[in-house]
Every structure is written in structure tokens, then in C-alpha cells.
Amino acid sequence: MLHSCADDLGVHKLVISEFVTMKDFDLTRFDLNLLVVFDALWRERHVGRAANILHLSQSATSHALSRLRDAFDDQLYIRSPKGIEPTPVAVALAPQVNEILGAVREVATPRGPFDPAKVKAAFNVAATDFTIMAVVSPSLRVIQEQAPGVVLKMFPADQDTAIQKLDAGEFDIAIGSGSFTKFPARIRSESLFKERFIGIVRSGHPALIKRRGKFRMDLDEFLRYPHVLASPRGDVRGAVDDALELLGKKRIVAATCPNFLAVPFLVGASDSIAVIAERAALQMKAAAGIDLFELPIALPTWEVAAVYAAGRTQESALQWLCDVLKKAASGY
């Protein structure tokens, strides 16, 4: 636990929040330990479990929650069938509390050059199949060489819950692309690379033509053959269809696949066409028996980024991991 030193550690950031109305808040009397309790309650959503990780009794934790409620003039956490749920004020405070505690941990960390070889920690990384292949895979050897004590625990990247899990500390980093990277200011985003779409067909496909040293395909041929669409939810429409609609054209989607990693193999075993991320296509070219071709239509590029809670920018180990991921992705 931490001693009372709120004034020196910038707790003033917390109390000026537009979401909070305080009753004669006295920084000189505020116990910083209460923020540690707040953080444990936010992460666990259960008073008993929070008490366990704080090494406190349940009654002591309940008493600390009562003091928090009095300090912030809000219930903060309300009973629910599964434990407790945060109020809107608690949701607004959570990233600020995380930032303050991160600064405290940084101050309390012994100074000296950061050495990844001394790190013994597990990082929870949320990633899609594509970002595991394009970002984590080329990073793994470096991570293992520099920090043998680090364990990467990878989880599916779900945009709908990523913010909540980053706020709660359940995820350390989330790696995603496109709209996945559009997060609020309390989430820090590190651009890794720009990606583009490429066409794929089986090697020796009759519609391929070679011009200026690259395989290409005429639009008529592109539309004549059936397409395989990577679609986790079974939708039969994607970015290609939007672009074709602007031209008054339509393709034939003959199959959808919930996992994009399987798409090159479906294409390699048929006369089908697919449009996927270029880095994925390059990595699976030999194994799937496919050729890549330039598309006969214009499609937008998109950004792939690593995101994490902004309050953790001072954590040396997390920043080291971000740097490794960024260097490996940019040097592809």
C-alpha cells in the first residue's frame, strides 16, 4: 500500500474532473491508499475479491469504499447480482486513477538503465489472427532473446470490449486495425504500419496476366470468377463490394469464411479469387500455393496500431514491448 502523498503526486488532476463534485476536499488529508482500493474494486468488480488482492479483510475494504464514497460524493460502486458495478463517475475516474498509480509506481521503481533481461512478467495481448501473424510473429524471437522472463498471453481482439479491458488492466496491449484503432483520448495509440489489400488466386490461374513485372487481372476476369470472402460474422459484403458498387459492378461471392487464415488455402485449391491483407498473403504464399496480383479497383489502405491505457506510458517494460512490436512490424 502507499502512504499519503497526494499533493506531491498530482492527485489534483483527479479532483478537478468535470464529472466529480467534492465536499470540502482536502488534499493534505486525502489517503492515497484509497486510490489503490478504488483500482482493485474497478478490476475485480467484487468487494471480497478486491479484499483478497489487497490483503485486507472484507470489512476493511468495505470501510475504504465508504471513505471513497464520502470523498467523491458518489456511490462509485453499486451492488449487482455478480458483485458490484461502477457508476458513471467511477467510469470517468478509472483512467485517471490508473494514470496516478502508474506515476507512483514509476517513482517507486529503482532508477537505472532498463534491462529487459531482468523482467519477469506476463503481458496480456489482445490481437486478431492477422495482427498475430503480421506483428507478434516477427517480434517473438526478439522478445525471447531480450527478455526470456516475459510471457505473452494472447487473447482474441474484440473491439466492443477492448476499451473496458484496457481500462481494467485485463489487457496490457491490444493490436488491431481500421476502426479498431479509433479509441478515446485515455487510450494511447502507437501506429505500427499501413496495410493494403491484394488479390490472391491459385498459382497458374488462367486469369492472371503479367505487366510491368507484376501479376495483374482485368476487371472483367476479376468479376467472372467466384470470390471467397473472409467474414467472421458471415456477411457477404465487404470493402470490395463497396468499391465495385461505385463502378456499377458486382462480384460473385461464392463462399464466406470465418477465419481469414483459411482463405488462401480455399483459394489455392480452386479457381476462386480472394482479396486479403498483403502481409498475410505474402506469409502464406508458399504454403497455400497462391499467387498475388494487383487489384483492378482502388481500395483504401488502413492503419495497424498497438493501443494501451494512456496512464501506462511511464511503464518501462510496457514501452519496451511496444518498441519491439513497432520495430518488427516496420521492418517487415
Phi, psi of 220 (to 5 degrees): -60, -40
Which one, of 196, 207, 211, lies nearest residue 273 by Cα?
Answer: 207
pLDDT tens figures, 165-198: 887 778 999 998 866 666 777 788 888 999 999 9
Q: Which residues of 212-238 are buried (b: 16+ CB within 10 A; e: fewer)?
A: eeebbbeeebbbebebbbbbeeeeeeb
| pLDDT of 25 higher than 60 | no
Nearest-angstrom CA–CA distance, 305 and 253: 30
Nearest-angstrom CA–CA distance, 9 and 47: 27
Is residue 98 within 8 A of residue 167, CB to CB? The reply is yes
Is residue 134 within 8 A of residue 329, CB to CB? The reply is yes
Element (DSSP H or E) covering residue 90 = helix 88-108
Element (DSSP H or E) covering residue 256 = strand 252-257
| pLDDT of 110 higher than 50 | yes
pLDDT tens figures, 47-75: 999 898 888 899 999 999 999 998 888 99
Provide the residue type at 170 as one letter. Answer: E
Which one, of 227, 214, 296, 284, lies nearest residue 255 by Cα?
Answer: 227
pLDDT tens figures, 139-150: 999 999 999 999
pLDDT tens figures, 246-262: 999 999 999 999 988 89
Q: Which residues of 38-67 are buried (b: 16+ CB within 10 A; e: fewer)?
A: bbbbbbbbbbebbbeebebeeeebeebbee
Which one, of 321, 17, 7, lies nearest residue 140 by Cα?
Answer: 321
Provide the residue type at 260 as one letter. Answer: F
pLDDT tens figures, 209-225: 999 889 999 999 999 99
User: What per-residue confidence (pLDDT) applies to 22?
Assistant: 44
Which one, of 14, 89, 88, 76, lies nearest residue 40 by Cα?
Answer: 76
Domains in the chain with CATH codes: 12-108 (1.10.10.10), 116-195+303-330 (3.40.190.10), 197-299 (3.40.190.10)
Q: Alpha-carbon dihedral of residues 99, 127, 84, 97, nearest 10 degrees?
A: 0
Q: How far is C-alpha 273 from the chain's CA centre?
A: 30
pLDDT tens figures, 275-309: 999 999 999 999 999 999 999 999 999 999 999 88
272: confidence class by pLDDT, cuts 50, 70, 90: very high
Nearest-angstrom CA–CA distance, 158 and 178: 13
> Greater confidence, 22 or 280?
280
Strand partners, 191: 305
Nearest-angstrom CA–CA distance, 276 and 255: 14
| pLDDT of 111 higher than 70 | no
Is residue 66 within 8 A of residue 37, CB to CB? The reply is no
Mean pLDDT, rounded, of the chain = 85
Is residue 49 within 8 A of residue 37, CB to CB? The reply is no
Is residue 127 within 8 A of residue 158, CB to CB? The reply is no
Nearest-angstrom CA–CA distance, 38 and 44: 10
Q: Cell for 32? A: 492515497
Is residue 262 within 8 A of residue 129, CB to CB? The reply is no
Q: How many other CB atoms are there within 10 angstroms of residue 245's CB atom?
A: 11
User: What per-residue confidence (pLDDT) applies to 177?
Assistant: 81
